[in-house]
Amino acid sequence: MGLVVQKYGGSSVADAEGIKRVAKRIVEAKKNGNQVVVVVSAMGDTTDELIDLAEQVSPMPAGREFDMLLTAGERISMALLAMAIKNLGHEAQSFTGSQAGVITDSVHNKARIIDVTPGRIRTALDEGNIAIVAGFQGVSQDKKDITTLGRGGSDTTAVALAAALDAEVCEIYTDVDGVFTADPRVVKKAQKIDWIAFEDMLELAASGSKVLLHRCVEYARRYDIPIHVRSSFSGLQGTWVSSAPLTKQQGDQKVEQAIISGVAHDTSEAKVTVVGVPDKPGEAAAIFRTIADAEINIDMVVQNVSAASTGLTDISFTLPKTEGRKAIDALERNKGGIGFDSLRYDDQIGKISLVGAGMKTNPGVTASFFEALSDAGVNIELISTSEIRISVVTRADDVPEAVRAVHSAFGLDSDTVEAVVYGGTGR
Amino acid sequence: MGLVVQKYGGSSVADAEGIKRVAKRIVEAKKNGNQVVVVVSAMGDTTDELIDLAEQVSPMPAGREFDMLLTAGERISMALLAMAIKNLGHEAQSFTGSQAGVITDSVHNKARIIDVTPGRIRTALDEGNIAIVAGFQGVSQDKKDITTLGRGGSDTTAVALAAALDAEVCEIYTDVDGVFTADPRVVKKAQKIDWIAFEDMLELAASGSKVLLHRCVEYARRYDIPIHVRSSFSGLQGTWVSSAPLTKQQGDQKVEQAIISGVAHDTSEAKVTVVGVPDKPGEAAAIFRTIADAEINIDMVVQNVSAASTGLTDISFTLPKTEGRKAIDALERNKGGIGFDSLRYDDQIGKISLVGAGMKTNPGVTASFFEALSDAGVNIELISTSEIRISVVTRADDVPEAVRAVHSAFGLDSDTVEAVVYGGTGR
């Protein structure tokens, strides 16, 4: 008998009907001889409604109380789900993050899991129960305060529990059929990926793919927990994410799709250019120390070749649009210390990334990528590469056409258009 | 510096405006130099909405999960209230029942408090915080499961915390101005009571007065915690409930209103008559053992004088209408064992009770009570008395007129009509 961890997002349990449908699916897994642990997000719009209430009473809700508020959402969905399962004749018990032993640091609204001690879950399973666990939440180690894990928190809860319970698989149920070779809203001929390695999935997540978040994949890779991303609305096999193919079929696919896993894009970033920086040691460090002190994460960094005549250079970097104002303010405040002429800010950019472990040993990939973009008439503004990824920044308007061109050039187009549904809460 | 526990019901925190209004009142208490602990119920209709959801997924929601679900309501209101207080520039922290150390037995949906260990509350207060505590909920001693306390649970939480923290007073904020000499919806000239003894309040609560529930008053009497029932919508003094008057003014009132505290009524009960019971030892015991085994609480019991010719008698008792069906079924099932002719069930009854410690030493009270009912043309069906209470059962239709007549006969009528608001969730 195996142990399976399943995670259902807010769109899968949006109403009573959704909860009953999910309950049936959980009972099926139990009937198939598994011990089942279920991680559940808040119902549909619950979180947004709670945030709205918070904003009505306070313009700047405190982190501790905000977490206390938001965790009510999972409390509701998990209790209802346990009731629905019991109504189908199976035993179920629900547990808060704290009860499930999800121990975090004390950074409210975006806490990190530092330990999982699932003693009560283990007991509940041994007594024949299906265990339902609130996603997205934990309890802080030092103060015993309720914390939330931030974006993608429920996925991370599921993977962390799977690791602590030594589960066979962590199934992430969502409203799409799996991970695709490109966003199907942009590329109609995108294909579902049957299997993908952790490393490629990490790069796709870092490059804008929204199905799984980087942090959840990172956690799964560290503990080598296979993830199965699949739809809660269909019975189809989804995408397996693991260190190596788990079946012959997945192995075959690995050979076939050796070079490229997929094309990701991201239009949520902006570009900051620091103009007229003296080309001497310590200048870049001063800029990025300023940004880091403002607690802003940056993505790509490019330094232009210095113009010999002036001894000045430009440094560009990309960052989330939501952090743009903060970055500009921080740099302006420290203008004297850093030493630069001016700042340029551009939020009309997009990023296209090609991801695949195979490109390490296939030198032609970079050239083919640039040729495809050139043929589509797309101008490249910045370039950044890793061992298994190439990313370029273009005009935001060029992104859809660029993604389609690259997807086609690398032979990823499907012969048929696959149907998918989009939505979801990001928890 | 004193320690004050305040409790706010669901109608006081029904929306963001209500929460902000209550926050201001709490901050006033803090500014007056008190340490302040606040117990809060779920917002307005939240509980009903959660119950509705539960019924959609399961016709018979399990106790453990139902408690997990319902406690989300207080989690929301307490977090919002803490945010609203912080927004006014004061420190506040919210605590679940479990975090506040409210330890209960394991009877889900109607758990009883068996211990309060408010270490975290004490620490929060010592650090200068206002402590906000979820009413209505606790954690079971043996299984560490979330429990709810049932009807009146938030009031009981407040009194229990006040006892554990050795508070000066437990203020129960509600949507009426206090405890009245009769229900102001029935008796327009009912007066607010400034002070009432625990014993009289217990009898009023047992007789149908809804402002404070019996269990909360009982708890306060056991630990000698003065309760101040008052409106969250006005700044008026309400009703003090304590073992002895706390001020000269209350003492003066005690002398004035020595005989009668108030008139309570209750139309939520039904009457069961067991007809043709053999008049021999053990018969009554057999009937009430049957009722007790069905876990039904009864109120009044009357046995008629036996008719000498037949050796048979009738036994009547009253009980909540909601338990009527269960009682009849239990008796019918055990008809052979008990031995009776037939059962009569009557849910068109009402109960009127006169309560006052003074009646012990004023022999004329009972006579005056019956004369007042007689003058109003009200027929009496059952009579039951205690040291400080007389109750009669009449036709339900006669109740309003009977209450007014008795209220007037004992000189309780006010010269003016006092304005009050009604509502509330019973939590």
Query: Is B122 within 8 Å of chain A by CB?
Result: no
Structure confidence by residue, pLDDT tens digits, A310-364:
788 888 999 999 999 999 999 999 998 888 999 999 999 999 999 988 787 777 8
B53–A20: do the CB atoms touch at under 8 Å? no
Q: Residue A6: which of A161, A222, A234, A196 has the closest Cα?
A: A161
- The pLDDT of B310-323, averaged and rounded, is 89
CA B38, CA B172: separation in Å to the nearest integer? Answer: 10
- The alpha carbon of residue B142 is apart from the nearest alpha carbon of chain A, in Å, by 13
The complex's ipTM works out to 0.79
pLDDT of residue B165: 97
Query: Which residues contact residue A257 at a Cβ distance below 8 angstroms, ignoring those fewer than 6 apart?
Result: A193, A356
Other beta carbons within 10 angstroms of residue B387's beta carbon come to 9
pLDDT at A426: 41
**pLDDT of A223 over the 60 cut:** yes
Cβ atoms of A135 and A102 within 8 Å: the answer is no
Q: What confidence score (pLDDT) does residue A424 get? A: 39
Lowest mean pLDDT segment, chosen from A83-92, B375-384, B415-424: B415-424
**Domains of chain B: residue spans and CATH:** 3-256 (3.40.1160.10)
* CB-based contact B68 A23, cutoff 8 Å: no
The DSSP secondary-structure symbol of A398 reads G
Q: What is the rounded end-to-end Cα distance, in angstroms, of chain A?
A: 30
- Which comes out higher in pLDDT, residue B60 or A183? A183
Which pLDDT band holds residue B307 (cuts at 50, 70, 90)?
low
- HEC-encoded secondary structure of chain B: CCEEEEEECCCCCCCHHHHHHHHHHHHHHHHCCCEEEEEECCCCCHHHHHHHHHHHHCCCCCHHHHHHHHCHHHHHHHHHHHHHHHHCCCCEEEECCCCCCEEECCCCCCCCEEEECCHHHHHHHHCCCEEEEECCEEEECCCCCEEECCCCHHHHHHHHHHHHCCCCEEEEEECCCCCECCCCCCCCCCCECCEEEHHHHHHHHHCCCCCCCHHHHHHHHHHCCCEEEEECCCCCCCEEEECCCCCHHHHHHHHHCCCCCEEEEECCEEEEEEEEEECCCCHHHHHHHHHHHCCCCCCCEEECCCECCCCEEEEEEEEEHHHHHHHHHHHHHCHHHHCCCEEEEECCEEEEEEECHHHHHCCHHHHHHHHHHHHCCCCCCEEEEECCEEEEEEEHHHHHHHHHHHHHHCCCCCCCCCCCCCCCCCC
Exposed / middle / buried, residue B305 (Cβ in 10 Å: 0-12, 13-18, 19+): exposed
CA dihedral over B220, B221, B226, B228, signed as positive or negative = positive
Confidence tier at A94 by pLDDT (50, 70, 90): very high
The answer on pLDDT for B84 being more than 70 is yes
**Distance of alpha carbon A303 from alpha carbon A284, whole angstroms:** 9
Q: How many CB atoms are closer than 10 A to CB B224?
A: 11
A65:B71 CB<8 A:
no
- A375-419 pLDDT tens trace: 999 999 888 888 889 999 999 999 999 999 999 999 899 876 554
Instruction: Give me the DSSP letters along A269-283.
Output: EEEEEEEEEE-STTH
pLDDT for B418: 53
Distance CA A110, CA A147 (A): 8
Averaged pLDDT, A301-307: 75
Residue of B nearest to A57 (CA): B84
Give the tens place of pLDDT for each residue, A46-92. Answer: 999 999 999 999 988 879 999 999 999 999 999 999 999 999 999 99
| CA-based nearest residue to A385, from A410, A367, A409, A405 | A367
Model confidence at B254, pLDDT cuts 50, 70, 90, reads low
> Nearest-CA residue of chain A relative to B62?
A83
User: In this predicted structure, what is the pLDDT of residue A421?
Assistant: 44
Q: What angle do CA B6, B7, B12 make, to 5 degrees?
A: 120
What is the share, in percent, of chain B residues with pLDDT greater than 90? 70
The answer to whether the Cβ–Cβ distance between A54 and B83 falls below 8 Å is yes
Indicate the angle between helix axes A72-87 and B46-57, nearest 10 degrees. 30
Scanning every residue of chain B, which has its alpha carbon at the shortest distance from the alpha carbon of A83? B61
Q: How many helices (H) and strands (E) does chain A have?
A: 14, 20
pLDDT at A427 over 90: no
Of the candidates B209, B241, B230, which has an alpha carbon nearest to the alpha carbon of residue B354? Answer: B209
List phi, psi (to 5°) of B151: -55, 135
Nearest one of A266, A203, A261, A265 to A410, comparing CA atoms: A261
Tell me whether residues A68 and B79 touch, CB distance under 8 A: yes
Low-confidence winner among A184-188, A298-302, B209-213, B356-360 (lowest mean pLDDT): B356-360
What is the C-alpha separation between B400 and B183, in angstroms, rounded?
10
Q: Are A66 and B79 in contact (CB < 8 Å)?
A: yes
- Could you give the percent of chain A with pLDDT greater than 70? 94
Closest to A182 (Cα-Cα) out of A86, A96, A264: A264
What integer pLDDT is reported at residue A253 of this predicted model? 64
DSSP for A207-225, please give it: TT--SS-HHHHHHHHHHT-
Per-residue pLDDT reduced to its tens digit, A107-131 = 999 899 999 999 999 999 999 999 9
Q: Smallest Cα–Cα separation from A155: which of A130, A136, A134, A142? A: A136
Tens of pLDDT, residue by residue over B94-108, are 999 999 999 999 999
Distance CA B296, CA B328 (A): 11
B149 near A CB under 8 A = no
B114-151 confidence digits (pLDDT tens): 999 999 999 999 999 999 999 999 999 999 999 999 88
Is A65 in contact with B19 (Cβ distance < 8 A)?
A: no
More confident of the two residues B385 and B227: B227
Q: Which of B353, B348, B398 is nearest to B182 (CA)?
A: B353
User: What is the Cα–Cα distance from A170 to A152, expressed in whole angstroms?
Assistant: 15
What distances in angstroms separate CA A181 from CA A266, A321, A411, one per listed residue?
14, 25, 10
Cβ-Cβ contacts under 8 Å for B55 (sequence gap 6 or more): B61
Count of CB atoms within 10 A of residue B267's CB? 17
Closest CA to B114 of B142, B84, B134: B142
Instruction: Check residue B190 and give its pLDDT.
Output: 93
Give the range with max mean pLDDT: A271-285, A394-408, B288-302: A394-408
pLDDT at A259: 76
Inter-chain CB proximity A62 and B82 less than 8 Å? yes
Q: Could you say which DSSP state residue A4 is in? A: E
CA–CA gap between residue A390 and residue A241 (Å, rounded): 21
Tell me what pLDDT residue B421 has.
Answer: 44
Predicted confidence (pLDDT) per residue in A141-150, tens digit: 999 999 999 8
- In degrees, rounded to 5, the angle at the alpha carbon of residue A253 between the alpha carbons of residues A249 and A257 is 175
Contacts of B120 in chain A (CB under 8 A): 144
Residue A104 has pLDDT above 50, yes or no: yes
3-state secondary structure of A265: strand
**Partners of A172 in beta bridges:** A7, A229
Q: In what order do the strands lie in the sheet with A312-320?
A: A301-303, A312-320, A269-278, A342-346
User: For B13, which residue in chain A has the nearest alpha carbon?
Assistant: A57
Residue B183 — pLDDT band, cuts 50, 70, 90? very high
In this prediction, residue B216 has a pLDDT band, given cuts at 50, 70 and 90, of very high
Side chain identity at residue B225, one-letter code: I
Query: What does the buried/exposed string (b/e) look like for B23-60 if buried means 16 or more CB atoms within 10 Å of the residue's CB?
Result: bebbbebbeeebbbbbbbbbbbebbeebeebbebbbee
Q: Decide if pLDDT at B234 tops 80.
A: yes
Mean pLDDT of B41-53: 93
**Candidate from B16, B65, B69 with C-beta closest to A56:** B16
Which residues 297-336 in chain A show a CB within 8 A of chain B?
Answer: none
Asked if residue B363 has pLDDT above 80, the reply is no
Amino acid at A48: D
User: Is A65 in Cβ contact with B82 (below 8 Å)?
Assistant: yes
Amino acid type, B112? R
| pLDDT above 50 for B426 | no
Check CB contact of A94 with chain B, cutoff 8 Å. yes
Mean pLDDT estimate for chain A: 90
- Choose the weakest-confidence range: A24-33, A360-369, A384-393: A360-369
Phi-psi region of B310 (alpha: psi -120 to 50; beta: other; left: phi over 0): alpha
Q: Is the predicted pLDDT of residue A162 greater than 90, yes or no?
A: yes
Question: Beta strand pairing status for B102-104 and B113-116?
Answer: antiparallel
Q: Which amino acid is at A257?
A: Q
Closest CA in chain B for residue A47: B76
